[in-house]
Amino acid sequence: MNQSEAKKRIEELKHQLNKFDHYYYDKALPLITDYEYDELYNELKSIENTFPLLITEDSPTQRVLENTITGFNKIKHNPKMYSLENTYSDNELSNFLKRIKKDTNKINEFIIEPKIDGVAVSIIYENGVFKKAISRGNGITGDDITNNIKTIEELPLVLEGELTGELIVRGEVFFTKETFKELAETYGFSNARNAASGTLKLLNSREAAKRHLSIRIHTVITGLADTDNEILNKLKQMKLPVIEMTKIVNSAENVIKTKDIWKEKRFELPYETDGIVIKLNKLSMRKKIGYTNKSPKWAFAFKYKPENAITKISSVDFQIGRTGVITPVANLEPVQLSGTIVKRATIHNFDEIKRLDIQINDFVEVEKSGEIIPKIIKVIKEKRNGDNTFKIKKPKICPSCRSELIHYNDEVALRCINVNCPARIEGNISHFVSKTGMNIENVGPALIKQLLNENIISSMSDLYKLEIETILPVERMAEKSAENVINSINASKDVPLHRFIYALGIRNVGEYLANILADTYKSIDKLMDAKYDEMMKINGIGDEVAQSVIMFFKNEKNREEIENLLKNGVNPILQIKRNILEEKKFVITGHLDEFTRDSVKRSIIENGGIVLNTISKETDFLIAGENSGSKIKKAEKMNVKIISEKEYLQMLEK
């Protein structure tokens, strides 16, 4: 490329990027995907690097975006909030690692974290008490968003420990995938990061509180220790919600290895991520190599290229969630996307149909975003020809129970308000058995649908009455799978109290609040008789949550269902906050001296382990007592570690 070609291309890119920025920031209407934006931005940056004389002040690469709003006080950041250099390219990542090696002249330790797709904030504690929160703004000055940040349940208002002086921490605010799904349905949001950013800009923090923002802290300003991972541990002890997935590696090869493994592993996190952040672990090394004007030289972000595919929408179904919200789901012509065949895609809500102008028979681009099914990100309009596509009509009646659908207040969501709607019952039971609920492994949505359709069950508690013989007649159910179903239902009976509370599907009570309720009330009986006033005194619980919990337990049908669950053998156990066993999976066999079968199970669960009935490759330990039978052989064959009762007790003493 010669100078005049470069000049021409720079002008084109500047023009395009400025237009996209205007739509994104001023109109909240992203015209292209983040990836497409980054590609153009990086192209501009690289041409400017080669022809530095062509850089002008109005170039998007030179501009710090003003992203503050009227209505909030402005506060200066001290020190300023930097951003990160980022890339999608393996080559550039290698160059970064090489540069670090050269600059520090040493083999270095790196800490790797997921790059959360959220909104950056800075939070100030004084003597351990929450004082202020400031949005990123332009990095130099931000908005005082204290009141909105205070609504984040995970963030303590008082830190644990005897703390003096000022502590400035920085992190990302976001909606978890689960919360966002509900918000997208009710409010018509289409993008989790934009929704979080919009929520932080609300002047009415009561409205912000209703939406349940989350946060993870990744940075502290004052050095609390010599290395980043020690700092994160200290923050954790203070009860700050720090990033839960970190890895320390000490070679460039292992950075690359982790990058490749986390490409998929990151989807296990409860929030969306778009890459990884690699930072030098030792603070002394960071100091040595310092900062550029915009970003630290000791850190780097690698972003994963989103995987897309193009296919055709053949029809649209309307799914009814457990809260009655109707969500459109597109049926697609099957297409290969990152190793799986995709047949369906979510369309979050009816506004999304309008926003993207989605029609039946349209060709669309689908993207894997960490949800169970991918989402539609754009319609390829050029592929429409003549009148071969047609509009998606909003349903007027519930496709399951045929009652009339309504819009609550000014919600975007279309709802079925019939609590006896079969589809809603199905949704409730699916939620009940889910991994984060009762975790009943071999019972999925398809089986639940069959059991309901054939009138074998009509409620959650009916699951615990099932026997092999009763489910054998179900289509495609072989003896072995029937046995697995019954085994996993039985194995779910001893359940941590917080998971049981979550599984009940009380409105507004997600995993986090279920934990708080379990810690406070300590048993399901006590929670069932909770009073509104006492609940309002609990840190992290507001009016809306308290009301929905009280309403839920006031309902006779719900009380009866809980009684039935307990009568049928479900045994919610208060999980003491010890995670010594780190979710390791245990199987028990033979006769034990110190424990009964029930008490050893209880002990495993209380210490953060998981009890399974049968040995599989996933099992971590077999606790073998006297007269152990065939399980020992199986464990040996599958390389499962076999331990005695005494060794188990020693594990708890750690």
Angle made by CA atoms 299, 303, 308, in degrees to the nearest 5: 180
In the complex, the smallest distance separating the C-beta of residue 126 from ligand IVH, rounded to whole angstroms, is 23
In the complex, the smallest distance separating the C-beta of residue 277 from ligand IVH, rounded to whole angstroms, is 4
- Residue 272 and residue 174 in contact, taking contact as beta carbons nearer than 8 Å: yes
* Binding of residue 282 to ligand IVH (CB under 6 A): no
- Residue 364 and residue 376 in contact, taking contact as beta carbons nearer than 8 Å: yes
From the number of C-beta atoms within 10 Å of its C-beta (0-12, 13-18, 19+), residue 215 rates as buried
* Cβ proximity to ligand IVH, 118 vs 437, nearer residue: 118
How many chain residues are in contact with ligand IVH, going by CB under 6 A? Answer: 16
Residues 175-207 as b/e (b if ≥16 CB within 10 A, e otherwise) read bbbebbbbbbbbbbbbbbbebbbbbbbbeebee
Q: At 73, is the secondary structure helix, strand, or coil?
A: coil
For residue 430, give the nearest of 511, 525, 517, 323 by alpha carbon: 323
Pairing assessment for the beta strands 247-249 and 141-143 based on DSSP bridges: unpaired
In the complex, the smallest distance separating the C-beta of residue 173 from ligand IVH, rounded to whole angstroms, is 10
In the complex, the smallest distance separating the C-beta of residue 135 from ligand IVH, rounded to whole angstroms, is 11
In the complex, the smallest distance separating the C-beta of residue 276 from ligand IVH, rounded to whole angstroms, is 8
* Cβ proximity to ligand IVH, 75 vs 243, nearer residue: 243
* Cβ proximity to ligand IVH, 183 vs 215, nearer residue: 215
In the complex, the smallest distance separating the C-beta of residue 160 from ligand IVH, rounded to whole angstroms, is 22
* Binding of residue 463 to ligand IVH (CB under 6 A): no
- Residue 255 and residue 110 in contact, taking contact as beta carbons nearer than 8 Å: yes
Q: At 104, is the secondary structure helix, strand, or coil?
A: helix
H or E stretch at 632:
helix 631-637
Residues 259-278 as b/e (b if ≥16 CB within 10 A, e otherwise) read beebbeebeebbbbbbbbbb
Pairing assessment for the beta strands 585-589 and 363-367 based on DSSP bridges: unpaired
* Cβ proximity to ligand IVH, 279 vs 424, nearer residue: 279
| Active site positions, annotated | 115
The secondary structure of residue 370, as a DSSP letter, is S
* Cβ proximity to ligand IVH, 51 vs 267, nearer residue: 267
SS (H, E, C) 296-329: ECCEEEEECCCCEEEEEEEEEEEEECCCCEEEEE
For residue 80, give the nearest of 173, 200, 168 by alpha carbon: 168
In the complex, the smallest distance separating the C-beta of residue 83 from ligand IVH, rounded to whole angstroms, is 5
> Is the dihedral angle over the CA atoms 515, 521, 522, 527 positive or is it negative?
negative
Side chain identity at residue 205, one-letter code: S
Contacting ligand IVH within 200-229 (CB under 6 A):
218-219
Binds ligand IVH by CB under 6 A, chosen from 97, 169, 202, 277: 277
* Binding of residue 176 to ligand IVH (CB under 6 A): no
* Cβ proximity to ligand IVH, 114 vs 540, nearer residue: 114
Q: Which stretch binds ligand IVH (CB under 6 A): 109-117, 193-201, 256-264, 498-506?
A: 109-117
In the complex, the smallest distance separating the C-beta of residue 78 from ligand IVH, rounded to whole angstroms, is 14
* Binding of residue 115 to ligand IVH (CB under 6 A): yes
Going by C-beta distance under 8 Å and a sequence separation of 6 or more, which residues neighbour residue 326?
318, 319, 320, 395, 398, 405, 413, 414, 415, 416
- 160: tokens are 């644990």
Binds ligand IVH by CB under 6 A, chosen from 159, 167, 243, 623: 243
* Binding of residue 368 to ligand IVH (CB under 6 A): no
* Binding of residue 235 to ligand IVH (CB under 6 A): no
* Binding of residue 163 to ligand IVH (CB under 6 A): no
* Binding of residue 193 to ligand IVH (CB under 6 A): no
- Residue 208 and residue 202 in contact, taking contact as beta carbons nearer than 8 Å: yes
In the complex, the smallest distance separating the C-beta of residue 371 from ligand IVH, rounded to whole angstroms, is 19
SS (H, E, C) 500-529: HHHHCCCCCCCHHHHHHHHHHHCCHHHHHC
* Binding of residue 515 to ligand IVH (CB under 6 A): no
* Cβ proximity to ligand IVH, 114 vs 188, nearer residue: 114
* Binding of residue 120 to ligand IVH (CB under 6 A): yes
* Cβ proximity to ligand IVH, 86 vs 428, nearer residue: 86
Q: Which stretch binds ligand IVH (CB under 6 A): 111-119, 345-353, 367-375, 502-510?
A: 111-119
* Cβ proximity to ligand IVH, 169 vs 345, nearer residue: 169
From the number of C-beta atoms within 10 Å of its C-beta (0-12, 13-18, 19+), residue 139 rates as middle
* Binding of residue 272 to ligand IVH (CB under 6 A): no
Contacting ligand IVH within 47-106 (CB under 6 A):
82-84, 86
* Binding of residue 113 to ligand IVH (CB under 6 A): yes
- CB atoms near residue 297 (< 10 Å): 17
* Binding of residue 135 to ligand IVH (CB under 6 A): no
- Residue 598 and residue 574 in contact, taking contact as beta carbons nearer than 8 Å: no
Q: Which stretch binds ligand IVH (CB under 6 A): 9-17, 294-302, 504-512, 549-557?
A: 294-302
- 536: tokens are 């309002």
Q: Whole-angstrom Cα distance, residue 629 to residue 407? A: 60
Ranked by CB distance to ligand IVH, the top (closest) residue is: 120
* Cβ proximity to ligand IVH, 51 vs 88, nearer residue: 88
* Binding of residue 155 to ligand IVH (CB under 6 A): no
Task: Give counts: helices (H), strands (E), the chain.
Answer: 24, 24
Q: Which stretch binds ligand IVH (CB under 6 A): 26-34, 115-123, 153-161, 630-638?
A: 115-123
Q: Whole-angstrom Cα distance, residue 132 to residue 314? A: 51
Q: At 282, is the secondary structure helix, strand, or coil?
A: strand
* Binding of residue 240 to ligand IVH (CB under 6 A): no
* Cβ proximity to ligand IVH, 167 vs 337, nearer residue: 167
Angle made by CA atoms 568, 571, 573, in degrees to the nearest 5: 170
In the complex, the smallest distance separating the C-beta of residue 115 from ligand IVH, rounded to whole angstroms, is 4
- 86: tokens are 């980022």
* Binding of residue 167 to ligand IVH (CB under 6 A): no
* Cβ proximity to ligand IVH, 84 vs 652, nearer residue: 84
In the complex, the smallest distance separating the C-beta of residue 591 from ligand IVH, rounded to whole angstroms, is 49
Contacting ligand IVH within 390-449 (CB under 6 A):
none
Contacting ligand IVH within 299-328 (CB under 6 A):
299, 301
* Binding of residue 608 to ligand IVH (CB under 6 A): no
* Binding of residue 259 to ligand IVH (CB under 6 A): no
234: Cα within 13 Å, side-chain hemisphere? 16
In the complex, the smallest distance separating the C-beta of residue 459 from ligand IVH, rounded to whole angstroms, is 43
* Binding of residue 181 to ligand IVH (CB under 6 A): no
Which residues of this protein are in contact with ligand IVH, per CB under 6 A? 82-84, 86, 113, 115-116, 120, 172, 218-219, 243, 277, 296, 299, 301
